[in-house]
Structure 1
Amino acid sequence: MDETNPPEDFNQAVGPLQGFGADVRRVRLGRKIKQKQLGRSTGYSESYVSQVESGKIMPSEKFAKGCDLAFGTNGLFAGLLRRIEEGDHPTQFAPYVHLERKASGILGFSTTRVMGLLQTQEYAYAIFRAGHPCETDEVIQAKVAARIRRREVLDRERPPTLWAVLHEACLRGHVGGPSVMAGQLDYLMELAALPGIDLQVIPFMAGAAAAHSVAFTLLSFKDSPTVLYADDPQGGRLCRRAAPVATAMQNYDRLRAHAMPPDESLAFIKTVREEYTP
């Protein structure tokens, strides 16, 4: 059906997602492959292919690799997607995202906002919009798409184990307004029901036990040392040195000790969720 369209000017694409989509469409048409055929080859619907080609959604790694197989492009589209992701993350954060994909275990402590891996699209949009008030909506949407795509690690056949400790402030801060917060807490409860995921809430009453700590994440691996990523005013940093990693692990154990147990934490999240109901 789309092959009957008039010739297109592929140079009109302005954003990275639009550019990726235009390249997929250009090669697909050059190979005389229909959207439905490409969808079958990559494991997606014709509608999904159409949305990728129009730059409306962030393509998955599976789709990009599927395009390379279908087109015989030897990793071209997988590489393009990786560069898009890195471009939508701060330079110092891109190495962390690469490691997060390989981690066998993730330990995260969130202070005033829910850690990125657990954010809903609406919550992430509110965070990025507040942090980049002068950027265009296209730029913000690209950052959101890159963040949401990180969730794919949780959808793998063998996902990493995830343990997240959230300060109560994460649940109380009205990020994006009541409806956005309601959706975010609903999503946290959905995640808590999945195997391999544990959530704990550390309440305000814990006092200095959590107040002295900055947000940080520990990534563990089957065949390499644990890595620490800690937030700071410059946007965060990776640390592989044994001593700081060991200290962070000790701090994390203390945070878990001061937090409510997982079952009580889930009940607490449900209670706070009700406060956002009109």
Structure 2
Amino acid sequence: MDETTPPEHLNPLQRFGRDIKQVRLARKLTQKHLGKATGYSEGYVSKVESGTLLPRPSEKFAKGCDLTFGTAELFAGLLRRIEEGDHPSWFVPYLNLERKASRILDYSTNIVKGILQTEGYARALFEAYFSREEVEVIESKVAARLRRHAVFELATPPFLWTIVHEACLRTVVGGAEVMAGQLEFLLTAAASPNIKLQVMPFSAGAPAASTRPFTVLRFTNARTVLYTETRVGGRMYDSEQTVDAALDDYDLLRAHALSPDQSVTLIKALLKEYRA
């Protein structure tokens, strides 16, 4: 990032980095000092200030800067607004709840859930959905999607139980190489103690296959929310009757799906096909 670049020509992360640098210099701190104060390396601070740290600076770093600079929640708030700005407005409420959930139950019918997408897979989807957008817009959306992985890096990450329909694994998004990378990522995810993955096979038949995709978020305060999505937006429900019906559906889906071990075996077999 050139120091003479006008602010209006900077992307949100570059503006965030420039603001960090300006306040740091005003406080007469070096990058090394700021890194030590926030618990990060000098190189990390340098990348933040240049706007080249991907997918984005951490919330911990932003809060550390606020504490060091005495700026209340200025930079933590800026970071949250950057995050929200890269997502549709109707999706932001769900995104905020996803970060706070203790348990996530998801059923995906034709596309791998966003929180489990690889960079190549996400980019191929956005290039298809937003074919008329500039490259910078696409890349910003890709970065925002990858940032959702950070939920698993929290001190107390949510437990994700995901049921992926076989159609998600066989629908070729971005070509064989992209799909191979996506399946490898799913295998890695399935090995995590915080993630349980099952595949709903085509052989399960129409009753299970006809269920629409949905996500249930559970919280430590016993609150439970159902989230559904269409092409034009998403919607959340918290009525007891609606949520209970969704949980009943999820139990049925788990019963029809392959076991976690069988699911891994199927994914490995499909991975060989894509590699071939």
1:84 is matched with 82
2:205 is matched with 207
In 1: Cα distance, 2:245 partner to 2:3 partner: 61
Matched ranges for 1:159-238 at <5 A: 159-238=157-236
Q: What 5-or-longer segments of structure 2 have no aligned partner?
A: none
In 2: Cα distance, 1:206 partner to 1:177 partner: 26
In 2: Cα distance, 1:172 partner to 1:183 partner: 13
Identify the range of structure 1 (19-28 vs 35-44) with the bigger mean alpha-carbon deviation: 35-44
In 1: Cα distance, 2:231 partner to 2:204 partner: 25
In 1: Cα distance, 2:44 partner to 2:139 partner: 18
SS at match of 1:236: strand
Structure 1 residue 40 displacement after superposition:
2.2
In 2: Cα distance, 1:177 partner to 1:7 partner: 39
Provide runs of 4+ in structure 1 moved above 3 Å.
6-10
2:42 to 18, 43, 46: 46
Shift of the 7–233 alpha-carbon distance from structure 1 to 2, 3 Å rule, reads closer
1:95 to 93, 96, 102: 93
Q: Which amino acid aligns with 2:109?
A: T
In 2: Cα distance, 1:53 partner to 1:168 partner: 43
Is 2:267 aligned against 1:269? yes
Does structure 2 retain, via aligned residues, the 8 Å contact 1:185–1:273? Answer: yes
Q: Deviations over 1:115-135 (max 9, x none)?
A: 011111221111122111122
Structure 1 residue 13 displacement after superposition:
4.3
Identify the range of structure 1 (154-163 vs 260-269) with the bigger mean alpha-carbon deviation: 154-163
In 2: Cα distance, 1:277 partner to 1:210 partner: 29
Does structure 2 retain, via aligned residues, the 8 Å contact 1:41–1:66? Answer: yes
Does structure 2 retain, via aligned residues, the 8 Å contact 1:182–1:277? Answer: yes
1:64 to 51, 62, 65: 62
In 1: Cα distance, 2:208 partner to 2:62 partner: 41
In 2: Cα distance, 1:249 partner to 1:46 partner: 47
Does structure 2 retain, via aligned residues, the 8 Å contact 1:209–1:255? Answer: no
Shift of the 45–121 alpha-carbon distance from structure 1 to 2, 3 Å rule, reads farther
Is 2:215 aligned against 1:245? no
SS at match of 2:186: helix
Q: Deviations over 1:119-168 (max 9, x none)?
A: 11221111122111122222222222222112222112221111000000
In 2: Cα distance, 1:135 partner to 1:53 partner: 27
Q: TM-score, normalised by structure 2?
A: 0.93
In 2: Cα distance, 1:32 partner to 1:10 partner: 24
Shift of the 7–207 alpha-carbon distance from structure 1 to 2, 3 Å rule, reads closer
Q: TM-score, normalised by structure 1?
A: 0.93
SS at match of 1:49: helix
Q: Which amino acid aligns with 1:169?
A: A
Structure 1 residue 101 displacement after superposition:
0.9
Shift of the 196–158 alpha-carbon distance from structure 1 to 2, 3 Å rule, reads same
SS at match of 1:257: helix
